[in-house]
A and B are shown apart, each in its own frame.
Chain A
């Protein structure tokens, strides 16, 4: 399996501001000074190999949408944030407009997780099949309401793809989209759901918009069990731990520190921090990644936990 990230930002999409782009160009020009970079190929090689990620690239700004590339013919997605727009356009551009099947697992139906669907072009094309799974009773209603006047000009009923909603139950094992799927209820406003996907001996957990208070050992144990031995855990690390349990307590999100602890307890191989705070710029997110890797290093008891910070366009092989 591979995880491909189409949207990684939390709460609301963000765009790289003009000043940040200017700063990156300035930093790149200074770094390139005197290097004799006088062709496009040399410039590309320099950018790709020698510039820091925060200068050469960006974490990106689309909201939550992650594709699991399973090797099967059908697409598997988690959430339909604004990154779903980019994903849908990519599918149409590379694989044609129709004849596709999408299995989409929704953490919840807060705006940032559904806002990409009105711009998900495969939904407008007859011959496509879209299965939307989630734990909420109002799953379908949330999507229909988003398309309804006066919020959007195209009513849900005019979408031409075959769209089905399926409500999943927690703590049941499902066989969906070529994967064994388990669902876990999580602490969030209106609650959310995490998913564990297993296929061919590999396990990926998608657990976003999930607060961990650590005041109930049983709840901690349940998450450790849900994460147990996973090859990859995609984890809501939006806040610092101090914020998450003080001024932002009950805001429904978690921290890098909590991600490291739960993954270490569960023997996870790879933690990917996700649902980035929209006020954090690239330098801030890179600093948090460095600190989190350091935390893992100084608290390591057993095998090393690999840590990455998700960015739009990232792919992780498991």
Chain B
């Protein structure tokens, strides 16, 4: 799964695209893992831009939980941003909105994570 990484100062924005269900969850995890492995070294903050994800199942949510644990273990953070209406409801019903940081927009997620990253995002300076 392509995650289209963009760096803004000390934050990395990843944008998965497509349904994340029990079939695609392993590919999502495999794509995410390299970005989390170097989380502490490359910058502490990862934001997952979910604007292109129309559906996520329990298998995909489990990948997010594992990713969150992995990021925290390295002193980093992970946030979810720009959920579409259906995944937003799934987050609420599954209570994932209570255990993961969820933001309406990528800008708001970056503002919470790092002023430098938010400023870079506002300038459109992603690399």
Contact = CB atoms under 8 A, between A and B. Distances in A.
Contacts of B74: none
B99 A242 contact: yes
B58 A295 contact: no
A64 interface: no
Given A240-B95, A241-B94, A243-B95, A294 B62 contact: no
B89 A295 contact: yes
B89 A298 contact: yes
Interface in B71-127: 86, 89-90, 92-96, 98-99
Contact of B59 (A214, A291, A295): A214
What bracket does the count of chain B residues touching chain A fall in? Answer: 20 to 34
A242 B89 contact: no
Contact of A220 (B22, B90, B92): B22
A70 B96 CA distance: 40
Contacts of A150: none
A243 B100 CA distance: 12
Nearest to A292: B93
Nearest to A291: B93
Interface in A264-306: 265, 291-292, 294-295, 298-299
A92 B89 CA distance: 48
Interface residues of A, number: 24
Contacts of A246: 65, 99
A213 B22 CA distance: 12
Interface of A is mostly: helix
Interface in A217-261: 217, 220, 240-243, 245-246, 255-258, 261
A292 to B, nearest CB: 7
Given A220-B22, A242-B98, A261-B57, A214 B62 contact: yes
Contacts of A299: 55, 86, 90
A29 B25 CA distance: 51
Contact of A217 (B22, B55, B58, B98): B22
Contacts of B22: 214, 217, 220, 261, 265
A213 B62 contact: yes
A215 interface: yes
A242 B89 CA distance: 14
A241 B58 contact: yes
A227 to B, nearest CB: 14
Given A213-B62, A214-B22, A298-B86, A241 B55 contact: no
A257 B99 contact: no
A256 B90 CA distance: 11
Most buried by A among B61, B62, B86, B93: B93
Contact of B65 (A245, A258, A294, A295): A245
Given A214-B22, A294-B89, A258 B95 contact: no
A127 B89 CA distance: 55
Given A214-B22, A220-B22, A299-B55, A257 B93 contact: yes
B89 A257 contact: no
B95 A242 contact: yes
10 smallest A-B Cβ distances: which pairs?
A240-B95, A241-B94, A242-B95, A214-B59, A291-B93, A242-B99, A257-B94, A242-B96, A295-B93, A214-B62
20 contacts: A212-B58, A214-B62, A240-B95, A241-B61, A241-B95, A245-B58, A245-B65, A246-B65, A246-B99, A255-B58, A255-B94, A261-B57, A291-B92, A292-B93, A298-B86, A298-B89, A298-B90, A299-B55, A299-B86, A299-B90
Interface of A: 212-215, 217, 220, 240-243, 245-246, 255-258, 261, 265, 291-292, 294-295, 298-299
